Amino acid sequence: GKSGYPHFMLKEIHEQPESLRQTIHGRIETLAGKVSLEEFDAGAFEDVERVQFVSMGTSHHASMYAAAQLTARGMTANAYMAGEYADCPAPIDEHTLVVAVTQSGETADTMNAVRRARDAGARTLAVTNVVGSSVTRECDESLFIRAGPEIGVAATKTFSSQVVALTLLGERIAEDSTGVQRAAVRSLLEGLADLPGDVQQVLDESNAEGIADALYGCDSYFFLGRGPAHSVALEGALKFKEISYEHAEGFAASELKHGPLALVTENTPVFGVITGEDDLKVISNLKEVQARGAPVIVVAPASFESEVEFADYHLPIPESHPEVAGILANVQLQLVSYHAADQLGRPIDKPRNLAKSVTVE
Ligand code: M6R
């Protein structure tokens, strides 16, 4: 049941502290500053030179997040939309690892991409929530995100768990492949260990409902981010359109001036995602849209209060590691989408025309 919540989506958003605890359980040695995945011993990926993620929708956004992290570790990593990859696969050699990211483990586009990769000789690894799902049978290896069943069509807790599981997997891959354990891994792992509590704080203190109320009935809703926060912006927009039926788009902040800025008016609220110092550049883009009359909503660590004072609204997140902060920002955006859709009276758990798992191309 919904345990007293009006919708499964809201229940699942609120389950995130617990689902994240399950995802990381036994996988982080905080004292030693090490990742320990029982499925993959140290050295399991020493032959891997490049990583290709294949996935769709929210899982694709989690994959983009992970690809950005691996790229920052000096690896060759790309996130492909599985449906496109199945038609036009990227080159593969014996050092290529193809990671299929799929909550359900049943998505047709993702399965097609996996088959193409496998036939071309790639090593294949499934990252999924569902034990015994088709993708686990098709891939050489599996890593389970352990988020528990998700009923709402909108993926929420599984995005958070995917990002965490992929972060841990990425750390294992990068260490094995490059042969060095990054000194910075300790602070990242501490950030992940603190994440369940930090998410709880966001849930307890969120001002998302009031912001959704204030921005009711606009023409379009835009979401901007850079680096890993780009994937959070795309995810924020996907969730918003999927359940509210309002037009929403996510952009890389750098993309804005190359076209989308033409759409910006006082009737197009713009959300900006800031995860840490490196993202402060997005502020100039946000000031630009504000000068054109757009309401600006910034999701940013509470400590950035003075930097984001110019914004019309601030959705604060607790202090965290920048690579973890994207997950916290996304929780704020999940709540914005939920409350916007709720005010519009949408059938939140079962949006029109959509299915929880898309088993045809
Ligand atoms: O089960 P999968 O993760 O493979 O599903 C992929 C997409 O169909 C899915 O994430 C979809 O985009 C969600 N409804 C988004 O909330």
Q: What is the ipTM of this complex?
A: 0.99
Q: How far is the CA of 356 from the centre of ligand 1 (A)?
A: 7
H/E stretch holding 279: none
Q: Render pLDDT for 41-57 as a digit per residue (tens, 0 to 9).
A: 999 999 999 999 999 99
What predicted TM-score, i.e. pTM, was given to this entire model?
A: 0.98
Tell me how crowded residue 360 is: count the other CB atoms within 10 A of its CB: 7
Q: How far is the CA of 74 from the centre of ligand 1 (A)?
A: 29
Mean pLDDT of 196-211: 98
Residues 280, 300: Cα–Cα separation, whole Å: 10
Sheet holding 221-225, edge to edge: 248-252, 221-225, 270-273, 296-301, 313-317
Ligand 1 pocket, residue 242 CB under 6 Å:
yes
Mutate to test the pocket of ligand 1, among 8, 53, 58, 348 (most ligand atoms within 8 A of CB): 58
- Residue 31 pLDDT more than 90? no
- Give residues with Cβ within 8 angstroms of 67, minimum separation 6: 51, 53, 77, 78, 79
Pairing of strands 270-273, 221-225: parallel
Ligand 1 pocket, residue 63 CB under 6 Å:
no
* Of the candidates 358, 4, 350, 331, the residue with the CA atom closest to the CA atom of residue 154: 350
pLDDT at 157: 98
Q: How far is the CA of 186 from the centre of ligand 1 (A)?
A: 31
Mutate to test the pocket of ligand 1, among 151, 346, 357 (most ligand atoms within 8 A of CB): 357
Mean pLDDT of 74-93: 95
- Give residues with Cβ within 8 angstroms of 291, minimum separation 6: none
pLDDT at 32: 86
Residues 101, 95: Cα–Cα separation, whole Å: 19
Q: How far is the CA of 15 from the centre of ligand 1 (A)?
A: 18
pLDDT at 189: 96
Q: Render pLDDT for 106-160 as a digit per residue (tens, 0 to 9).
A: 999 999 999 999 999 999 999 999 999 999 999 999 999 999 999 999 999 999 9
Q: Render pLDDT for 176-186 as a digit per residue (tens, 0 to 9).
A: 999 888 888 99
Q: How far is the CA of 56 from the centre of ligand 1 (A)?
A: 6
Ligand 1 pocket, residue 107 CB under 6 Å:
yes
Among 8-12, 86-90, 169-173, where is mean pLDDT lowest?
A: 86-90
Q: Render pLDDT for 243-261 as a digit per residue (tens, 0 to 9).
A: 999 999 999 999 999 999 9
Q: How far is the CA of 64 from the centre of ligand 1 (A)?
A: 14
Mean pLDDT of 326-342: 98
Closest CA to ligand 1's atom 16? 154
The mean pLDDT value of the chain amounts to 96
Q: Determine contact, residues 196/64, Cβ cutoff 8 Å.
A: no
Residues 167, 66: Cα–Cα separation, whole Å: 6
Q: How far is the CA of 105 from the centre of ligand 1 (A)?
A: 10
Mean pLDDT of 70-76: 95
Mutate to test the pocket of ligand 1, among 8, 13, 53, 56 (most ligand atoms within 8 A of CB): 56
Mutate to test the pocket of ligand 1, among 129, 157, 239, 358 (most ligand atoms within 8 A of CB): 358
Q: How far is the CA of 348 from the centre of ligand 1 (A)?
A: 15
Which atom of ligand 1 is nearest the CA belonging to 128?
3
- Residue 361 pLDDT more than 90? no
Q: Determine contact, residues 13/157, Cβ cutoff 8 Å.
A: yes
Ligand 1 pocket, residue 164 CB under 6 Å:
no
